[in-house]
Structure 1
């Protein structure tokens, strides 16, 4: 935070006769440091109230670091759950449309938490959940994947 100095044009001390003149120059200088401090205190209070895991932190950056670490772990855990769920989807008694939509929803959830799924991984997830009746289709898809991979 930059320090703010008082205007040098105020040479006289504050009294009843010069309050308005004095205020015109001094109030903006005084107001800016207290607004910065108030904002910092508000940020700190907001962050501390947002999450009980930040007890013991004394600075806003420490609170933010703990919040970031906590939610980063939570996000990675959710991503792992979505990846596992994506691979667990099976066609079984679902319509093909419902099956593909279920996998797409997991793929979208992964992208939403910052872990986008590559196209080939998406296709693999679809292929893996299909029963053996679809083996010839899966074989064609895999051949096309390999061919596009080598190009």
Structure 2
């Protein structure tokens, strides 16, 4: 990466040119990272406990927020329900049919309760 910076700085005579070059470089790197994180988010599937599944989603959602690309509640909700197995379809339908939407924390709590019911 250091060599890449040196190559990009060749031809810069003024400090503003260096700053513009750095801004362009880091902006493109951030865009790439945002794209990769959103792909990663879509690929997360519930394969173990609901707690681990939700934590994996939360890590990606939090990282997106830190780098300046926060998800709205609907996108976060979609990420959660998209990776659930078919046995959660009834649960998802009941959440979607509610007039007043749940918060993410409420959905997470309900999912943990649903997992307990499915396991017993």
Distance 2:95 2:34 in 1: 26
Give 1:63's match in structure 2, choosing from 18, 24, 35.
18
In structure 1, stretches of 5+ residues that fail to align are 1-48
In structure 2, stretches of 5+ residues that fail to align are 102-120
Deviation track 1:87-144 (CA, whole Å, cap 9, x = no partner) reads 110002x110000000000000101111001011001000000000000111122223
Distance 2:65 2:79 in 1: 15
Deviation track 1:1-58 (CA, whole Å, cap 9, x = no partner) reads xxxxxxxxxxxxxxxxxxxxxxxxxxxxxxxxxxxxxxxxxxxxxxxx9932221100
Corresponding residue for 2:28? 73
Greater length-normalized contact order (CA 8 Å, ≥ 6 residues apart): 2
TM-score (norm 2): 0.76
Corresponding residue for 1:29? none
Deviation track 1:73-92 (CA, whole Å, cap 9, x = no partner) reads 00011001111101110002
- Once the two structures are superposed, the pairs formed by residues 1-151 of structure 1 within 5 Å of their partners are 51-52=5-6, 53-92=8-47, 94-144=48-98, 147-148=99-100
Aligned residues: 98
Cα RMSD for the two superposed structures:
1.8
TM-score (norm 1): 0.61
